[in-house]
C-alpha cells in the first residue's frame, strides 16, 4: 500500500508526502503550498524530495513549489491548462506520470469545476484529488460550472470502492454536519459525524477516506439518491429534474450553510 503522510500547513491544508516504494528514501510531495513544513517533514523522515505533483493553481497548493524545486532539483508536474511557470511537465487528461526509479506511476484525470485547470492523480489504489473531492464534501465552484463539477465527481466515482482518497483540506466535520442536514436519515452519516467529532476533539486527522465510504456519506456523490434530491428540492423550493440541477442546489445550499 502506498505510504503517504500528511504535512499540515496554514489552518487546514494537508500537503501529502509520498514515500517512494522503490528505495524508501525518496519522496514526492503533492500541492506544497508552503515549503517550510514540507522541508521540516523531509528532514525529520530523512527523505530526499524528487518530484512535486500540483493539482491546480491556487496559492495554498503552489506557494512552496518554486523554493522546493530549486532547493532539491525536484521535477514539477502540474496541469497544462494552469500555465504555471514553475511546472516542468505540463499534464492533460489521461497523461501518465511515470517515476520508474521511485517505483511510482500515476494516471492523470482532468477534473474541472473548482478551477478549470484542476487535475487529480490516480495510482497505487490512491487518488490525490486536491480541492475537487473532500470527505463528505467537494470544492467550491470558483471557475467551473455545476455540470462540469458533477461530471468530474462522476469520473472519480467510477474508480474502485477501495480507492483511498487523499484530500487537500481537513473539512470533514463541517461537511458531515451539512451532510446530516441534507440526509438526516442516513445512519452512516450520523455515525461518521460522531466518530469524526471525537477525532477532531483530539486534533487527529480524518483522512484518507475511501471512495466506497464517500459514496455512502457524501451528498455531492449522492445527487441521484431520491433522499438527496428531495432535500435539495425542498430547500430550493423548485423541482430539480436533472442531477446537475440537484448538484447545483446542494452546492449553493452548502455555500450558505453555517
Catalytic residue among 31, 34, 57, 60: 60
Q: Is 235 a catalytic residue?
A: no
Catalytic residue among 31, 34, 117, 131: 131
Count of residues interacting with Zn ion (CB under 5 A): 2
Q: Is residue 131 involved in binding Zn ion (CB under 5 A)? A: yes
Query: Could you tell me the end-to-end alpha-carbon distance of the chain, in angstroms, rounded to an integer?
Result: 37
CA distance 159 to 239: 30
| Closest approach of Zn ion to the CB of residue 169, in Å | 9
Q: Is 58 a catalytic residue?
A: yes
Sign, Cα dihedral of 64, 15, 203, 12: positive
Q: Measured from the CB atom, is 65 or 104 closer to Zn ion?
A: 65
Q: Is residue 58 involved in binding Zn ion (CB under 5 A)? A: yes
Query: Which spans in 93-186 are helix H?
Result: 146-157, 172-182
Q: Measured from the CB atom, is 6 or 21 closer to Zn ion?
A: 6
Instruction: Give the three-state DSSP class for 103.
Output: coil
| Closest approach of Zn ion to the CB of residue 58, in Å | 4
The values of phi and psi at residue 20, to 5°, are: -65, 125
A 10 A CB-CB count for 53 gives 27
Q: Measured from the CB atom, is 132 or 209 closer to Zn ion?
A: 132
Rounded to an integer, what is the distance from CA 105 to the centroid of its chain? 18
Q: Measured from the CB atom, is 171 or 178 closer to Zn ion?
A: 171
Residues labelled catalytic: 56, 58, 60-61, 114, 131, 169
Contact residues: Zn ion, CB under 5 A: 58, 131
Amino acid at each position: 500500500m502506498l505510504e503517504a503522510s500528511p504535512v499540515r500547513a496554514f489552518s487546514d491544508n494537508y500537503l501529502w508526502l509520498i514515500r517512494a516504494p522503490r528505495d524508501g528514501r525518496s519522496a514526492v510531495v503533492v500541492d506544497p503550498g508552503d515549503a517550510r513544513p514540507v522541508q521540516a517533514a523531509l528532514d525529520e523522515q530523512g527523505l530526499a524530495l524528487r518530484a512535486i505533483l500540483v493539482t491546480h493553481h491556487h496559492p495554498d497548493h503552489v506557494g512552496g513549489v518554486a523554493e522546493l524545486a530549486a532547493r532539491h532539483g525536484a521535477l514539477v508536474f502540474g496541469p497544462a491548462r494552469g500555465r504555471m511557470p514553475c511546472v516542468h511537465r505540463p499534464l492533460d487528461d489521461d497523461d501518465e506520470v511515470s517515476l520508474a526509479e521511485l517505483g511510482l506511476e500515476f494516471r492523470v484525470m482532468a477534473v474541472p469545476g473548482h478551477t478549470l485547470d484542476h487535475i487529480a492523480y490516480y495510482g497505487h489504489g490512491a487518488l490525490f484529488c486536491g480541492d475537487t473531492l473532500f470527505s463528505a464534501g467537494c470544492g467550491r465552484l470558483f471557475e467551473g460550472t455545476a455540470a462540469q463539477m458533477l461530471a468530474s465527481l462522476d469520473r472519480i466515482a467510477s474508480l474502485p470502492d477501495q480507492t483511498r482518497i487523499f484530500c487537500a483540506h481537513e473539512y470533514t466535520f463541517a461537511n458531515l454536519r451539512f451532510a446530516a442536514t441534507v440526509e438526516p436519515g442516513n445512519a452512516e452519516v450520523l455515525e461518521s459525524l460522531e466518530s469524526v467529532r471525537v477525532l477532531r476533539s483530539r486534533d487527529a486527522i480524518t483522512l484518507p477516506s475511501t471512495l466506497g465510504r464517500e459514496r455512502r456519506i457524501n451528498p455531492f456523490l449522492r445527487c441521484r439518491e431520491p433522499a438527496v434530491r428531495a432535500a435539495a428540492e425542498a430547500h430550493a423550493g423548485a423541482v430539480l429534474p436533472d442531477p446537475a440541477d440537484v448538484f447545483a442546489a446542494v452546492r449553493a445550499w452548502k455555500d450558505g450553510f453555517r
